[in-house]
Chain A
């Protein structure tokens, strides 16, 4: 029972980070209709940038902030250089451009930072675990979760109460209506990419704190794809819920199924679950069921 509770809490906490990255993904999809397969690389970029600042001697929070700024700039550049020209192109074209981007980013990252695992040294979060009753939780997980929740709240407030956020919501809801009300769609697309870059960067930094940072953290970033599919592609609450489900599922299967299927069951469980889930609910939990007309 204790094992179960501990796995569950760890899962929820890691899931919080996935939820953050998934939020960025859903945002891009809702605002501009781009299905982004480069999310793993976006997490890597943010993580490596903040790691570099941290190793230069900048304290953790400022380096995170600097990586946010760089993520913002990169996001706008990416949108302007690559995605802006593709408005109105077929879906496959846009998807493949994001695949191309993911290769480009990955190659560049490995070129700049190499393939060795790097750790945040000295450790950002204290190594001593926190003990609450029967639960033992690593502080990294706890603080990552708290940071993810705070950022999620900031993002949600941003969408609800600020002018920009409302413009983005309007575009996501009905692009034509938003355009006629004077919202600049190009601005919204750029902002969506910038925010996705920033969210992914924070997620990547937190994930990199847990187990060190190498190219396989990008694979963790890829786990947002099952998360958003579970939640339904165009639902923000769905993305958050999906992220947490994926985190929990991953940890539960790592704990309980590993005895039966030794090896990397933790890595594939989300994908297996996703395939089976899609067979029964083809639009995820809260995804829109579009009525198709010929």
Chain B
């Protein structure tokens, strides 16, 4: 949908220029400005409340990125992604709490980053296991097997067994000093923010570059038509499973990162609602577009916060409203998805692309 598009008069003189991610000076300047805002502007200007909102955006974005990869680029619809986020979160927490780390590793803050990596790989493997049916089934049957992942992993394995590790009453609360990256203990929203920024930039870069490579082209071919992809010599099963692995990996990263923001984790943090929410995010943002993932997560989180801040003053008059907000949120989310699907099926990213084109082509809009 969104193609790389160059203003006229721009000519590439080398292969390197042709393949570069940021092709013009304008884009380079824009990105540097964006990074400046992200690294300096936001931490300076945002108050703690908005900081936590931004962190939520980052978490949503990390989760939705994996879903986008599967649905938008490989065509494998998944409705159970929260399960893999949960696997990541629980693996990381268990490693921190139960694994006998040498004291030095704890002190130097190697334990948590290492546990993130292990958690991400574990989540990737779990995702591959539930992606295995994709070798045989597709379409709605596949949707149901990914849905089964949610019920089997979160509602059964984690709720019934993993939560019991360490005995009754062990609420999986992570001592604040345990979450340490290098010399920094991640104990404030600002530090969580920087970690989030690092992970988001890292995984977006990875995904963008994967999509530009052989792997990404194979995924898109499978999405468009898996039979013709197979005929062209792409190992369909291998690439499907690879997509599941990468998506689960990013999901695991998201989960393992998010425990730094949570005081304690429980299965209620990863409900089926969250899986569907992530799919909703990419649908509203735009399927098959990295921009769309970002727009979608920003849009959904900010709109929900605004809705909440609109409800809070009213709650003085209708005390029940505060209690019912959760349900209103659910209903509003549902209606938003329906509305977007009916009136703007290509999502925000498409609208953004149109606006950009309008200004690029102005005043001759043909």
Contacts and interface: CB of A to CB of B under 8 A. Distances in A.
Interface of A: 35, 37, 82, 85-86, 89, 91-93, 95-97, 99-108, 110-111, 225-226, 229, 233, 261-265, 267-268, 271-272, 274-275, 278-279, 282-284, 292, 294
B334 A100 contact: yes
B299 to A, nearest CB: 15
Nearest to B140: A35
Interface in B112-171: 130, 132-133, 136-137, 139-141, 143-145, 147-148, 151-152, 155-156, 159-161
Given A274-B148, A279-B136, A294-B227, A107 B156 contact: no
Report the 5 A-B pairs with minimum CB-CB distance, sorted nearest first.
A107-B331, A103-B334, A263-B160, A100-B337, A104-B334
Contacts of B329: 107
A292 B132 CA distance: 21
Query: Main SS of chain A's interface residues?
Result: helix
Interface residues of B, number: 50
A259 to B, nearest CB: 14
Nearest to B153: A268
B327 to A, nearest CB: 4
Nearest to B136: A282
B186 to A, nearest CB: 33
A108 B331 contact: yes
Contacts of A226: 144, 148
8 contacts: A92-B287, A101-B334, A103-B273, A106-B327, A106-B334, A225-B147, A263-B160, A278-B145
Nearest to B145: A275
A104 B326 CA distance: 12
Contacts, number: 143
Given A96-B280, A225-B144, A225-B147, A103 B333 contact: yes
Contacts of A263: 156, 159-161
A114 to B, nearest CB: 9
Contact of B283 (A96, A268, A283): A96
Query: Main SS of chain B's interface residues?
Result: helix
Nearest to B137: A282
A96 B276 CA distance: 9
Contact of B144 (A101, A106, A268, A274): A274
B202 interface: no
A99 B151 contact: no
B338 interface: yes
B156 A103 contact: no
